Structure 1
Amino acid sequence: MTSRTISRTTDRATARATGAGPGAVGAALRATARGLADRVGRHPWYGRASTGAHAAGRMAGRVDRRWVRPVLGVVGPLGRLLLAVVVGLAVLGLTLGWQEAGVGAVFGALLLLIAVGFVLGRSAYDVDLDLTRTRVAVGDRAVGAVGVASAAARPLRPASLELPVGAATAAFSLPRLAPGERYEDVFTIPTTRRTVLTVGPVRSVRADPLHLLRREVRWTDPVELYVHPRTVALGASTPGFIRDLEGLPTRDLANTDVSFHALRDYQPGDDRRHIHWRSTARTGTLMVRQFEQTRRSHIGIGLSTEVGEYDGEADLELAISVAASIGLQAAREQRNLDIITPAGPLRTRTARTLLDDLTRVSGSTGVPAVELARTTAETLPNASVIFFVLGMHVPATDLRRAAAWVPVGIRTLAIRCGAGVPAARATIGDLVVLTVGSLDELGSVLRRAAA
């Protein structure tokens, strides 16, 4: 406070003497303050005090991390309540002379001291968490095992093990283990919905019978379990899975390719390797081959996750399973594949990465099917077939607008997904609209589209 007062007084006097304005006063004030701060900072007393304060702060932080937090972490909710009651009763007994309150405080303190005996001690375990498969499909069971071996020189008393699985927790009773003895328990995880579950870490738990104190020790790292969407195998006759080696011919002509188109007169600059000598000998004029540009079969999928287009979670899951089934068929036949969602493109390099990304897909809002179609068409201008996978509540006008974004020459199919809806096929201009009510119907519906 003293330095600030001196700074203001000095600046006012300087301003009156020089006739400076408010800006000069502010600049002089800041310069004076910086000078005072530098002089104070260079003073030896200040340096020693600052160093001592920083050292005390570091020591307090170490004490907090090493002692305070571990101790408070051991006290459970009921133990904290009992501790508060003990303190309250002790205060009442000391201030008001209330003997009953003092007795209650002593009794509560004894309970806490007895609970301490249950959580003290050191355990030495070698714990293994083994999941047979870290990737399963919806409806499959994930099987795993927890193995515990004693690494102590003396027998270890019985303990409890806990294994978090998502939001749930599995409990295991660990028996008394002799030195070197091993215990193993097998568990299964039911998978009823598509998700990514965090399994683990395995932790040992020591607690008193009243659960006033609870001490946990982690022994393993957590493992991610991917529950992939359900898929079905599609036949090789599915539209878009082209098997010809020449690829898909286009209307663009080129001087070199593998899809032969016609013969034309030789022009300067043409590659002489493409001269057709038999026609040249017959006509007496140099003739060269002309080709159609081709492209490899490239599958594009636009997966809409707009929740307003679906009747519920079951319809959205059906749409994700449809996209996954088509994507897996493209991966099996080693076709180029891209899947676009409102959140961005998915990884399609391998079937595993494709299913992993589809497992993390969730419902969204703000990107309707028409906008997704525009993004898909702009991202995949060279696709041979584009599938739009969407919900039942996309009107025909939006389907027509979505198809208008697709360049000419790309086959386009819209697959509307609605659980329990009868399978159907319709056309809107050049757009083939398929309705799928069950994942098992997908193969037959796609074959119907090829007819």
Structure 2
Amino acid sequence: MTNVRTRLVGDRDGVAAEAVVGVVRVWRTAGRLVTRVRDEVAAVVTGLGWTVLALTVVAFVVGYRFGLREVVVVGWAGTVLAVVAAVALVGRSRLVVGMTLPQHRVAVGDPAEVTVTAENPTRLPSVPTTLELPVGNGLVDVAVPVVTPHGTHVRRVPVPTTRRGVLDVGPVTGVRADPVGLVRRELVWAEQEQVIVHPRTVAIPSTSTGLVRDLEGQATNDLSPADIAFHAVREYMPGDDPRTIHWKSTAKTGAFMVRQFEDTRRSHLVVALGVSDTEYRDEDEFELAVSAAASLGTRAVRDGREVTVVVSERTPEFAKRPVYALESLPTVTPTRLLDAFASVGLAEACLPVAEVARLVGRDAAGISVAFLVVGSAVGLPALRLAATRFPVGVGVVAVVCEPEAVPRSVRVAGLTVLTIGYLEDLRHALHRSAAA
């Protein structure tokens, strides 16, 4: 057998061997104790505390060695500060602290808050305590006064919702520290939670799209020999299906006549949001584009239509070539889609709108209408190029977002360009397109 004992004393059983083993055991126990004390002290002593401790030791050594009374006074002052700091850590908090989030999902601009509750279940009043609550990138100090026995103190902390995103809230941490800041002890009470700030959306009636064609009543202008919506009859031509012959019209005219139908399709909407920073002039323009894309996507999901929402994948910083791929956002429910939009951001290296259109036109089957949501930095030639990347028969609508711009609509071959300056302009622009 080979273990620590055999490595130390071999197979000896004498008093000397037992003494060696005992000394090693005591040494290891003392080492573990010292390590634990060191870790506990290091967890509460701040950088300023270690600096004051080092200066105190140096002041005593130098002051007594060379007889410098002023330096000795500095050492005793450091000692007094150390004693005060140690007294500040004595005792433990009697409070039980909790944190609740009434809403985990809010829209941009909606009020949101975190409720911090401090309860005192003991028979003695608590001492004033300071709690720290991280909210996003900020840190909020929550001052808890003296709580009476079996009392409760409630504090509501507002959550900033001026920008969309995912905010980490918590954990709630109790802090005990001395007035100078030499020591600091933290106690975590509540775990971290998240608040998802959705982009602002506008209600778009399902009839306002006007461009959607499906089996529930919207027919296209394309004619086909077999479908649901009857259009007219025409003369028989070689190659027509004999089953489409309309015999009553044939008997009246004396020539074979066949039925002709309007082609109907199941609507498949595509919403492609540009995320390249070269396509936008500022952050406000991109936020308007995100809100417009979210409004279109959530309206289609609520209508039960087949919808695909995509953004370009980001190319890694040191990649040798661009990544030709798209990221599809979940469209199971409007909430899931808005959750995904809350994390969408601009990228320095990603595909332009024309390449995004090419990839989605290649991969998504049966597209009826495609919405390209971009910024004002994208010109009309780039939008026309993107429209040509979709299959023939797809209605392409480019939504150009330019804050505070006058809304306008331009119709070119195979493309409709809607310029919006405010989010509400999107609803009006789609109404006008439907009427046209």
TM range (shorter): 0.7 to 0.9
Deviation for aligned residue 1:135: 1.1
Deviation for aligned residue 1:411: 0.9
- Of 331, 341, 348 in structure 2, the residue corresponding to residue 358 of structure 1 is 341
Deviation for aligned residue 1:259: 5.8
Match of 2:90 in 1: 120
1:426 aligns with 2:410: yes
Cα gap change, 1:393 to 1:60, in 2 (>3 Å): farther
Match of 2:151 in 1: 181
Deviation for aligned residue 1:85: 2.1
Alpha-carbon distance in structure 2 between the residues aligned to 1:57 and 1:431: 79
Cα gap change, 1:419 to 1:61, in 2 (>3 Å): farther
Deviation for aligned residue 1:232: 0.9
1:225 aligns with 2:195: yes
SS at match of 1:219: strand
- Of 223, 237, 241 in structure 1, the residue corresponding to residue 208 of structure 2 is 237
8 Å CA contact retained: 1:305, 1:342: yes
Cα gap change, 1:218 to 1:301, in 2 (>3 Å): same
Alpha-carbon distance in structure 2 between the residues aligned to 1:363 and 1:58: 56
Cα gap change, 1:363 to 1:116, in 2 (>3 Å): same
Match of 2:425 in 1: 441
Q: Which amino acid aligns with 1:373?
A: A
8 Å CA contact retained: 1:248, 1:297: no
Deviations 1:256-290 (A, max 9, x none): x7567899436xxxxxxxx99998xx99xxxx999
TM-score, normalised with respect to structure 2: 0.79
Alpha-carbon distance in structure 1 between the residues aligned to 2:152 and 2:138: 26
Cα gap change, 1:48 to 1:401, in 2 (>3 Å): farther
Q: Which amino acid aligns with 1:265?
A: P
Cα gap change, 1:308 to 1:87, in 2 (>3 Å): farther
8 Å CA contact retained: 1:228, 1:355: yes
Q: Which amino acid aligns with 2:139?
A: T
8 Å CA contact retained: 1:198, 1:223: yes
Q: Which amino acid aligns with 1:384?
A: S
Cα gap change, 1:382 to 1:83, in 2 (>3 Å): farther
- Of 408, 417, 436 in structure 1, the residue corresponding to residue 392 of structure 2 is 408
Deviation for aligned residue 1:68: 3.2
Deviation for aligned residue 1:47: 8.0
Q: Which amino acid aligns with 1:340?
A: V
8 Å CA contact retained: 1:240, 1:299: no
Alpha-carbon distance in structure 2 between the residues aligned to 1:135 and 1:115: 42
Cα gap change, 1:183 to 1:243, in 2 (>3 Å): farther
Please, which runs of 5 or more residues in structure 1 have no aligned partner? 1-41, 267-274
Deviations 1:180-201 (A, max 9, x none): 3222122322321112111111
Match of 2:237 in 1: none
8 Å CA contact retained: 1:310, 1:316: yes
1:34-433 alignment runs, 5 A limit: 48=7, 64=35, 66-93=36-63, 96-152=66-122, 154-235=124-205, 236-242=207-213, 244-245=215-216, 264-265=241-242, 295-343=265-313, 344-366=327-349, 367-433=351-417
8 Å CA contact retained: 1:425, 1:432: yes
Cα gap change, 1:320 to 1:57, in 2 (>3 Å): farther
Deviation for aligned residue 1:414: 0.7
Cα gap change, 1:254 to 1:130, in 2 (>3 Å): farther
TM-score, normalised with respect to structure 1: 0.76
Count of residues in correspondence between the two structures: 393
Cα gap change, 1:342 to 1:90, in 2 (>3 Å): farther
SS at match of 1:173: strand
Cα RMSD, aligned residues only: 3.6
Cα gap change, 1:120 to 1:414, in 2 (>3 Å): same
SS at match of 1:190: coil
8 Å CA contact retained: 1:200, 1:222: yes
Cα gap change, 1:176 to 1:135, in 2 (>3 Å): same
8 Å CA contact retained: 1:249, 1:259: no
Alpha-carbon distance in structure 1 between the residues aligned to 2:77 and 2:413: 84
